[in-house]
């Protein structure tokens, strides 16, 4: 029989084996193995991709910095007592949620091209921000509504106006509920930027496609592409859960 | 009570009606509160006590009538309600402290943001208030680490930090464990002794008896009987009040 203390220690030693670490280290190991054993196709693919990775990050970061404020505005609009604002925000959410992102990307790209000259990057960022702004609007709305009514009553009774109450009292608390789903939306956004390859944006996916088209190495190329996306999103999801723990500071009974 | 006629009331509630959908929550309620007076409102639940209290600082809208605080019509759109509320401290049944702020920050937030009080000054005053309510050693902890009684005392201090002329208490001890009721009532008694104008909705009859200048008994949205604690508790007239007192005492 194993003494209890030993059993516990052993259990702890195995804690690092979980779905996340298996996927991450598996992906890294696979990437490393492929590139060292068969540098001929795999290392060639890999060395062709950094430019695309940069574009992917560029589109993602720009889209996040537009979609988060847009989501906040949408969320506030959805809970607004002003009927016009509320209707505007709700209609926006309804419409955007009903159209696939790929269709939106095509639509905005060609619709904008009709009226004004915009770069592929601009229309990609607009399309993705508009789409994710709607989804994030729902996240913000739910997060704000989860804060008890007593909090805003307490702030209002001290003399804070509606905006001060929202920004000093409600949002700082709602942020905790909002952050994990918003973080997940951002990760989903990074993955969805692969859709902009359809309009010849030289992102990670598009770079892979053109490499494969030239060399006919479809399997090898998309293996590497998949592994890179996987590694990035796994690292980001760890970042989100780390922030989540940081935001719980005021709950702990020290 | 004799001199009341020549003093202007700080709060003047005049023929106020309020409906929740079709149900009347307040029916023709009139009440004057004079400076330094301690008014305690009692009555069964659903009698409109809290609604009346909350309509004084417009947390509830009213449908008819006038409520004036220090001569200003609270429900008129012409007046800045946020400014009026700064003068009306409110304490809630559920404390409603801001959980993401420390105790000290809970007290200094409103004076700093709304009155442009310098931080140093606001913190100094906050510490004085915390000492007064007996929890100065908890200034830098978060509300979640305090007991209910401690949280409610912080909530009272938070309201006092804005230096209000009038304090409104909405069942301040109803959510507390029995052994914590006393510490909160003590703070309220001290406040009353300092001459603060107070309106308090409560089920603590002992507090009503000893602290109140005037006790209001409400039922079904109406003020059924009002008078000194002695009148209300020892010499009740209305059968509904007699029945209520029989059930709780």
Q: What is the pLDDT of residue A113?
A: 75
Cα–Cα distance measured from residue A45 to residue A227, given in angstroms and rounded to the nearest whole number? 12
B7 touches chain A (CB under 8 A): no
- pTM, two decimals, is 0.83
CA dihedral of residues B101, B104, B108, B113 (deg, nearest 10): -20
**Could you tell me the fold of the domain covering A24-242?**
MetI-like fold (1.10.3720)
Could A157 and B158 be called an inter-chain contact, meaning their C-beta atoms sit closer than 8 Å?
no
Confidence of residue A253 (pLDDT cuts 50, 70, 90): very low
* Chain B: closest CA distance from residue A143 (Å): 15
Closest CA to A62 of A174, A160, A203: A203
Q: Residue B85 is nearest to which of A148, A156, A254, comparing CB atoms?
A: A156
The CB density around residue B242, as the number of other CB atoms within 10 Å, is 12
**Residue B87 pLDDT > 70:** yes
Cα–Cα distance measured from residue A8 to residue A209, given in angstroms and rounded to the nearest whole number? 50
Q: For chain A, what is the mean pLDDT?
A: 86
- Comparing A87-96, A194-203, B56-65, B195-204, the range with the smallest average pLDDT is A194-203
3-state secondary structure (DSSP) of residue A87: helix
**Residue B201 pLDDT > 50:** yes
> Where along chain A do its domains lie?
24-242
Identify which of A63-77, A94-108, A239-253, B2-16 has the greatest average pLDDT.
A63-77
Q: Supply φ then ψ for residue B194, to 5 degrees.
A: -80, -5
Contact (CB, 8 A) for B155 and B96: yes
pLDDT digits (tens, 9 = 90+) for B165-193: 999 999 999 999 989 999 999 999 999 99
Contact (CB, 8 A) for B208 and B184: no
pLDDT digits (tens, 9 = 90+) for B45-81: 889 999 999 999 999 999 999 999 998 999 988 889 9
Confidence of residue A254 (pLDDT cuts 50, 70, 90): very low
* Chain B: closest CA distance from residue A5 (Å): 32
Q: Which residues of B touch A164 (CB under 8 A)?
A: 113-114
CA dihedral of residues B51, B52, B53, B57 (deg, nearest 10): 90
A98 touches chain B (CB under 8 A): no
Confidence of residue A41 (pLDDT cuts 50, 70, 90): confident
Secondary structure element (H or E) that encloses residue B38, with its range:
strand B38-42
Closest CA to A133 of A88, A199, A196: A88
Q: Residue A160 is nearest to which of B82, B94, B145, comparing CB atoms?
A: B82
Could A164 and B88 be called an inter-chain contact, meaning their C-beta atoms sit closer than 8 Å?
no
**Residue A7 pLDDT > 70:** no
A213 touches chain B (CB under 8 A): no
Angle at CA of residue A165, ends B137 and B87, nearest 5°: 70
pLDDT digits (tens, 9 = 90+) for A150-183: 999 999 999 999 999 999 999 999 988 888 899 9
Q: Which of A147, A159, A164 to mutate against chain B (most B CBs within 10 Å)?
A: A159
Tokens read off for A62: 């720009």
* Chain A: closest CA distance from residue B220 (Å): 25
Q: Which residue is associated with the tokens 């598996």?
A: A26
Closest CA to A229 of A45, A37, A57: A57
* Chain B: closest CA distance from residue A182 (Å): 20
B contact residues 146-205, partner A, Cβ 8 Å cutoff? 155, 158-159, 162
């Amino acid at each position: 029989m194993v003494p209890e203390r030993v059993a516990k220690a052993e259990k702890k030693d195995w804690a690092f084996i979980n779905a996340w670490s298996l996927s991450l280290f598996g992906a890294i190991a696979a990437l490393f193995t492929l590139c060292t054993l068969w540098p001929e196709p795999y290392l060639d693919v890999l060395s062709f991709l950094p430019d695309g990775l940069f574009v992917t990050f560029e589109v993602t970061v720009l889209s996040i910095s537009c979609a988060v404020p847009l989501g906040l505005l949408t969320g506030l609009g959805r809970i607004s007592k002003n009927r016009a604002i509320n209707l505007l925000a709700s209609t926006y959410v309804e419409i955007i949620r009903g159209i696939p992102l790929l269709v939106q990307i095509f639509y905005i790209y060609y619709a904008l091209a009709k009226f004004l000259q915009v770069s592929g990057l601009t229309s990609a960022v607009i399309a993705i921000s508009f789409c994710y702004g709607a989804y994030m609007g729902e996240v913000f709305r739910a997060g704000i509504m989860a804060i008890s009514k007593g909090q805003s009553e307490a702030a209002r009774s001290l003399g804070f106006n509606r905006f001060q109450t929202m920004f000093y009292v409600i949002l700082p608390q709602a942020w905790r509920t909002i952050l994990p789903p918003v973080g997940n939306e951002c990760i989903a956004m990074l993955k969805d930027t692969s859709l902009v390859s359809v309009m010849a944006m030289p992102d990670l996916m598009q770079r892979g496609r053109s490499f494969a088209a030239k060399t006919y190495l479809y399997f090898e190329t998309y293996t590497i592409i998949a592994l890179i996306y996987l590694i990035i999103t796994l690292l980001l999801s760890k970042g989100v859960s780390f922030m989540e723990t940081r935001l719980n500071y005021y709950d702990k009974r020290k | 009570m004799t001199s009341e006629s020549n003093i202007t009331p700080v709060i003047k509630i005049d023929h106020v009606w309020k409906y929740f959908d079709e149900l009347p929550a307040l029916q023709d309620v009139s009440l004057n509160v004079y400076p330094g007076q301690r008014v305690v409102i009692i009555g069964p639940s659903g009698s409109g006590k809290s609604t009346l209290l909350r309509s004084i600082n417009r947390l509830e809208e009213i449908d008819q009538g006038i409520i004036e605080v220090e001569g200003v019509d609270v429900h008129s759109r012409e007046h800045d309600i946020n400014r009026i509320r700064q003068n009306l401290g409110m304490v809630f049944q559920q404390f409603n402290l801001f959980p993401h702020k420390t105790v000290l920050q809970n007290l200094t937030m409103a004076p700093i943001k709304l009155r442009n009080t310098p931080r140093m000054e606001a913190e100094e005053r906050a510490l004085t208030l915390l000492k007064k309510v007996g929890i100065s050693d908890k200034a830098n902890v978060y509300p979640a680490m305090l007991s209910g009684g401690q949280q409610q005392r912080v909530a009272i201090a938070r309201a006092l930090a804005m230096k209000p002329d009038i304090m409104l208490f909405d069942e301040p001890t109803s959510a507390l464990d029995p052994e914590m009721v006393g510490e909160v009532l003590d703070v309220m008694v001290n406040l009353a002794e300092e001459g603060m104008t107070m309106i308090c909705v409560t089920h603590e009859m002992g507090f009503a008896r000893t602290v109140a200048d005037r006790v209001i008994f409400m039922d079904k949205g109406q003020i059924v009987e009002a008078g000194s604690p002695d009148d209300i508790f020892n010499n009740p007239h209305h059968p509904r009040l007699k029945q209520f007192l029989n059930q709780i005492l």
